[in-house]
Amino acid sequence: MTTSERPRPLNQNEKRVLEILQTHKHEHPDKPAPYTLTKLGKEVGITREGARQIYIRLSKRFELPRLVQTVKQERNERIKNLVEQRGTFFGIANRLKITDHKKLTYQLRTLFDQKQISKRPTYEEERAERREVLEYEILHMREKGYLPQEIIKILHIHRGKFDQRIRTLYDRGEIPRIKPNLVITKRTSHEEAAAFDEKVKELRESGLTHAQIAEHLGFRKYDIANSIHRLKIRGEIEVRKYKKRKDATKSNPC
């Protein structure tokens, strides 16, 4: 072997890295070294890039143990495993405690483009599936006679989400009742208004208050008040008479 072919002597940092890795390999021959490049660099007192270059040079001359995966590589492996287990988008986010859905969407798209995963759970698709499940539950509970307030409490949703799903069910014709938030406009047919007023009249005669009628039908109090006003004008319901309050003070004579 000529002088030019002889391997150059190791410097101090290379000796330290080699000592750390060979000690671990001797103690745990089948396990990767519990170091990332960053951690290995801090142990020796050099940068991550310096540790990377030393590791590459030493691996060509010595049999070194593998390093543990970086945080990013480890997260990608966990994502791939969860996808293979038919994990959903929100299921993966909850398991990995990822609150930034845009970031998870980007990671899934990157893994899919690199052909590391065969399918890509998406935020939009799963939201659509959740909406369908919620609509089914609301429809099923309404058919059993639950009031809107009871459905909201049982399903742990806010009123806005409930109204939105009810509106969607009405638009698709899955609820055989009058359309929600009916307001008498030029586009409202006479049959729709008459059917709505008849329902309000029936509930009012059963003893329900305006607020209870609105809650039962899923309408605004404003719509119920308008309906009752139309019924009063047509003389279909009695106008309640209220007693005049007596003046508490008498007027002084001039």
Element at 38 (helix H, strand E): helix 37-44
| pLDDT for res 223 | 82
Q: Tell me the backbone φ, ψ of residue 33, rounded to 5 degrees.
A: -65, 140
Taking only the tens place, the pLDDT of each residue in 157-170 is 888 888 888 888 87
Q: What is the DSSP letter of 66?
A: P
C-alpha–C-alpha distance, residues 177 and 196, integer Å: 9
| Single-letter amino acid code for the residue at 136 | Y
With contact defined as beta carbons under 8 Å apart, do 165 and 130 qualify? no
Taking only the tens place, the pLDDT of each residue in 5-63 is 677 888 999 999 999 998 988 888 888 888 888 888 888 999 988 988 998 889 888 88
